[in-house]
C-alpha cells in the first residue's frame, strides 16, 4: 500500500513557437501509428517466434510422486498385514460427497490408492470398481452393465465397503491482518501482513457389504488445518515531476488436495488396523509421519548441494546393493549409476528419472533421521556434505550409512491359500495352490515346481510373464490369480511331498544356465533332479555369491473317495442322471481353466 504525497507543481513555461511545432509533429506521429494499427498484421513475420511454442509448452519441472505424511506408514501397514498372513479381501468404496463444495477432490480414488499401497506386499485387498450412478458411468462401466445383462460377465461380491464424506470445511476460522504506512514529502512507505486458517473434516466408516451395515467401532473422524499467509512492502517516491512506485510481496497457500490425501491415508490406516486387529499405532508413530519431516529434509537437501546429495545417495545405494562397493569413482551421470537410481526409484514407488532429486534423496536417507530430546530432527551418521566415516574392525574407515543400512538379500516365499494361523495342513490331490514370492531388492527371479516324483518344470518366467526382473518388496503371485489370464494353474499332484524353489540373481543368468534348464516354461525338464538340481545349475551360472534362493514344500494327501451314490428310486432313469452329472463336471473344469479362484476373505 503506497501513499503518495502531493507536491506543488512547477510554474508553467511560456508557450513558444518551437514547442508548437513539436506538438504538431507528435500529433502527426500518433495519427500515422493509428493508421498502421488499422492494417492487419502479417502472421508470417512471427514464424520464427512461433516455432518455439511446441518446446515452451512443455513443463520445466520433472513429475514427482504424490505423497503425504503417512506414506511411510502405509508401507509399514503393508508389512504388518503381510506378517499377519491375512487372506485377500474384496473391498469397494462409495463416493465421498463434499457438502461444502469447497474441496473438489477425488476422495474415492485416494482411498483406492491407499488400499493398493497397503496391499503391494501383503495382497491384503482387492478393490472392486463398479459404479451404478448413471452420471458417473464411463465406457468401462457401460460395457460392464451390458455384459452383466447378457450373462457374459460375473462380479464378485465385496466383503467390505468404505463409506464417508467430507463432513465440513470451516473457512477463515482465525484471521489476522496488519497494515502500516508512512508518508513524507518525497517518499511513501507501506507494509501489510495477513494470515488465515481453515479446518477440513473427514468422516470414514467401514461397512459389511452383505448386510449394508456399518461395523461399530470401525470409524475414523479427523480434521486437518490448512492456511494461507502473505506479506508485502510498498514504496513510493517522487523525484521532481516524476513518481516511482514499487510493490514487493510473497504469499503461500496450503492446498486442499494434499490435506485431503493426508486425512485419507490416516483414516485408512486406522480402520484397516482396527479391522485386521494389528498394532497399527506403531506405523502412525514413525518419525516420518511428523508434519515437519519433509520440510526439514527439504532444507537439508538444499544445504547439501549437488556434491553432498550425490555422496549421500551413493552411500545408501552401495549399502543396499544397487551399486557395487568398487564404484567410488563413478559419477552421477555414469550409465550404471543412472540405472541404479532408476531401479531404486522404481522399488520405492517414485517417479523414475535416473537423477538425484529430492524424493530420491528423502527415500535414501529418511531412515537416518530421528527426533532428539528437544523434539528437533537430527541426522544419524551423516551431514550435509556427505556420510560420516567411522572406524571398522580391520582398522579402515567406512561410511556410517553403509554400515547401518546393509540389509540381507532374501526371498520371502509363502503359501497364500487360507490356512489356520501357524499351521500348514496337507493339500488334497487336485486342489489349487497359490503362492507369492517377494525379494528384498530388485532382482531377476526364477521359480521352478518339483512334484512328488522329482520332476521339475519352470513356472517363472513364462510366455505371459516373460521378464525376470522384479522390483523389491513387491509380491509376485504364483500363479497371478488377479490377472485375466494367469498363464497356468498350480494343482496339487500325486500324493507325496511337492515344492517350489525360487532363485533371485543380480544379473540375468538365463543364457548362462545349463542346457537342461533352458527348456520352455511349463514343460517337464529332463535330467534335472528336483530342486537341488535346479539350485546346482544356478550356482554354476551365477556363482556362490550372485544368487539367493528359498524352497517351500507341502504335503499332498490322496483324494477322498466319493460317498456312495444313493439308491435310485424305482422307475428313475439312471442314464439321464449320469449324463447330467458329467456335463456339470465338464463345465466346472472349463470354468476353472478360464480363471482360477483366488484367495478371498468373506
Q: Could you give the 3-state DSSP secondary structure of residue 258?
A: helix
How far is residue 487's CA from residue 471's CA, in Å, rounded to a whole number? 21
The pLDDT-based confidence of 108 (bands split at 50, 70, 90) is very high
Q: Could you give the 3-state DSSP secondary structure of residue 438?
A: strand
What pLDDT score does 575 carry?
40
Q: Rounded to the nearest 10 degrees, what angle do helices 335-347 and 358-365 cross at?
A: 70
Q: Taking 70 as the threshold, does the pLDDT of residue 592 lie above it?
A: no
**Mean pLDDT (the chain, rounded):** 83
Q: Taking 50 as the threshold, does the pLDDT of residue 30 lie above it?
A: yes
Q: Taking 90 as the threshold, does the pLDDT of residue 291 lie above it?
A: no
Q: Taking 80 as the threshold, does the pLDDT of residue 27 lie above it?
A: no
C-alpha cell at 561: 473317495
Q: pLDDT, tens digit, for every residue of 41-93?
A: 788 888 988 988 988 999 988 888 888 989 999 999 999 998 888 888 999 99
C-alpha distances in Å from residue 2, one per residue of 8, 93, 177, 179, 183? 19, 54, 17, 11, 9
Candidate from 106-120, 130-144, 245-259, 288-302 with smallest mean pLDDT: 130-144
Q: Taking 80 as the threshold, does the pLDDT of residue 331 lie above it?
A: yes
The pLDDT-based confidence of 152 (bands split at 50, 70, 90) is confident
Whether residue 153 contacts residue 86, with contact meaning beta carbons closer than 8 Å, is answered with no
Q: Comparing C-alpha atoms, which of 417, 313, 393 is closest to residue 355?
A: 313
C-alpha distances in Å from residue 488, one per residue of 194, 219, 477, 585? 64, 40, 12, 20
Q: Is 72 exposed, middle or buried (0-12, 13-18, 19+ CB in 10 A)?
A: buried
Q: Taking 80 as the threshold, does the pLDDT of residue 10 lie above it?
A: no
Q: Comparing C-alpha atoms, which of 440, 436, 412 is closest to residue 506?
A: 440
C-alpha distances in Å from residue 290, one per residue of 69, 243, 286? 7, 50, 8
Instruction: Delineate the domains of the chain, giving CATH numbers in brackets.
Output: 71-289 (3.40.50.10610), 293-405 (no CATH), 411-560 (2.60.40.1930)
- Angle made by CA atoms 404, 406, 412, in degrees to the nearest 5: 130
C-alpha cell at 193: 501482513
Which of 330-344, 417-431, 477-491 shows the highest mean pLDDT?
A: 330-344
Q: pLDDT, tens digit, for every residue of 378-436?
A: 888 888 887 876 655 555 665 666 545 456 889 999 888 876 655 667 899 999 999 99
Q: Taking 60 as the threshold, does the pLDDT of residue 9 lie above it?
A: no
Q: pLDDT, tens digit, for every residue of 191-227?
A: 999 999 999 999 999 999 999 999 999 999 999 999 9
Q: What is the distance, to the nearest Å, from the Cα of residue 79 to the centroid of all Cα atoms in its chain?
A: 15
pTM as predicted: 0.74
Q: Comparing C-alpha atoms, which of 444, 237, 460 is closest to residue 343?
A: 444
Q: pLDDT, tens digit, for every residue of 537-578?
A: 999 998 888 899 999 999 999 987 777 776 655 544 444 333
What pLDDT score does 218 carry?
95
Amino acid at each position: 500500500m503506497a501513499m503518495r504525497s502531493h507536491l506543488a507543481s512547477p510554474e508553467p513555461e511560456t508557450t513558444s513557437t518551437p514547442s508548437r511545432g513539436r506538438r504538431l509533429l507528435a500529433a502527426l506521429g500518433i495519427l500515422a501509428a493509428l493508421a498502421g494499427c488499422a492494417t492487419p498484421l502479417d502472421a508470417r513475420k512471427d514464424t520464427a517466434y512461433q516455432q518455439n511454442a511446441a518446446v515452451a509448452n512443455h513443463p520445466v519441472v520433472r513429475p514427482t510422486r504424490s505423497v503425504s505424511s503417512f506414506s511411510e506408514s502405509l508401507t509399514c501397514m503393508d508389512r504388518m498385514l503381510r506378517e499377519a498372513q491375512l487372506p485377500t479381501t474384496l473391498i469397494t468404496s462409495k463416493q465421498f460427497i463434499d457438502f461444502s463444495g469447497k474441496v473438489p477432490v477425488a476422495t474415492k480414488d485416494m482411498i483406492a490408492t491407499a488400499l493398493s499401497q497397503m496391499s503391494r506386499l501383503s495382497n491384503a485387498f482387492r478393490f472392486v470398481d463398479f459404479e451404478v450412478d448413471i452420471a458417473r458411468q464411463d465406457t468401462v462401466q457401460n460395457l460392464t452393465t451390458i455384459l452383466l445383462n447378457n450373462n457374459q460377465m460375473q462380479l464378485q461380491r465385496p466383503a467390505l465397503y468404505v463409506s464417508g464424506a467430507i463432513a465440513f470445511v470451516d473457512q477463515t476460522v482465525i484471521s489476522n491482518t496488519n497494515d502500516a504506512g508512512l508518508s513524507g514529502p518525497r517518499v511513501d512507505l507501506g507494509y501489510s501482513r495477513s494470515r488465515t486458517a481453515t479446518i477440513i473434516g473427514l468422516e470414514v466408516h467401514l461397512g459389511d457389504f452383505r448386510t449394508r451395515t456399518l461395523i461399530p467401532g470401525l470409524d475414523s473422524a479427523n480434521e486437518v488445518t490448512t492456511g494461507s499467509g502473505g506479506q508485502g512492502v510498498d514504496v513510493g517516491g517522487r523525484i521532481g515531476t516524476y513518481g516511482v512506485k514499487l510493490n514487493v510481496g510473497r504469499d503461500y497457500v496450503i492446498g486442499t488436495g494434499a490435506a485431503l490425501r493426508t486425512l485419507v491415508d490416516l483414516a485408512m490406516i486406522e480402520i484397516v488396523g482396527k479391522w485386521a486387529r494389528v498394532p497399527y499405532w506403531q506405523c502412525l508413530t514413525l518419525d516420518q509421519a511428523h508434519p515437519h519431516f519433509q520440510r526439514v529434509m527439504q532444507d537439508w537437501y538444499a544445504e547439501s548441494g549437488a556434491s553432498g546429495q550425490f555422496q549421500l545417495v551413493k552411500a545408501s545405494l552401495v549399502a543396499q546393493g544397487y551399486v557395487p562397493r568398487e564404484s567410488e569413482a563413478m559419477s552421477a551421470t555414469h550409465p550404471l549409476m543412472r540405472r541404479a537410481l532408476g531401479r531404486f526409484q522404481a522399488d520405492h514407488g517414485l517417479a523414475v528419472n535416473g537423477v538425484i532429486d529430492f524424493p530420491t534423496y528423502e527415500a535414501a536417507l529418511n531412515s537416518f533421521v530421528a527426533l532428539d530430546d528437544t523434539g528437533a530432527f537430527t541426522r544419524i551418521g551423516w551431514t550435509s556434505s556427505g556420510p560420516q566415516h567411522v572406524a571398522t574392525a580391520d582398522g579402515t574407515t567406512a561410511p556410517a550409512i553403509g554400515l547401518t543400512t546393509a540389509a540381507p538379500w532374501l526371498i520371502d516365499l509363502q503359501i497364500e491359500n487360507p490356512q489356520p494361523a501357524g499351521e500348514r495342513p496337507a493339500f488334497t490331490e487336485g486342489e489349487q495352490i497359490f503362492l507369492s514370492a517377494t525379494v528384498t531388492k530388485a532382482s531377476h527371479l526364477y521359480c521352478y515346481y518339483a512334484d512328488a516324483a522329482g520332476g521339475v518344470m519352470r513356472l517363472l518366467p513364462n510366455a505371459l510373464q516373460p521378464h525376470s526382473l522384479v522390483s523389491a518388496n513387491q509380491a509376485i503371485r504364483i500363479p497371478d490369480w488377479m490377472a485375466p489370464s494367469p498363464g497356468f494353474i498350480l494343482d496339487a499332484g500325486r500324493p507325496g511331498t511337492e515344492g517350489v524353489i525360487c532363485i533371485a540373481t543380480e544379473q540375468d543368468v538365463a543364457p548362462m544356465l545349463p542346457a537342461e534348464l533352458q527348456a520352455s516354461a511349463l514343460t517337464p525338464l529332463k535330467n534335472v533332479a528336483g530342486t537341488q538340481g535346479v539350485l546346482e545349475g544356478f550356482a554354476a551360472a551365477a556363482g556362490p555369491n550372485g544368487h539367493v534362493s528359498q524352497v517351500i514344500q507341502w504335503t499332498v494327501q490322496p483324494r477322498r473317495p466319493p460317498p456312495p451314490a444313493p439308491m435310485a428310486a424305482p422307475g428313475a432313469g439312471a442314464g439321464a442322471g449320469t449324463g447330467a452329472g458329467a456335463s456339470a463336471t465338464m463345465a466346472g473344469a472349463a470354468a476353472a481353466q478360464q480363471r482360477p479362484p483366488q484367495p478371498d476373505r468373506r
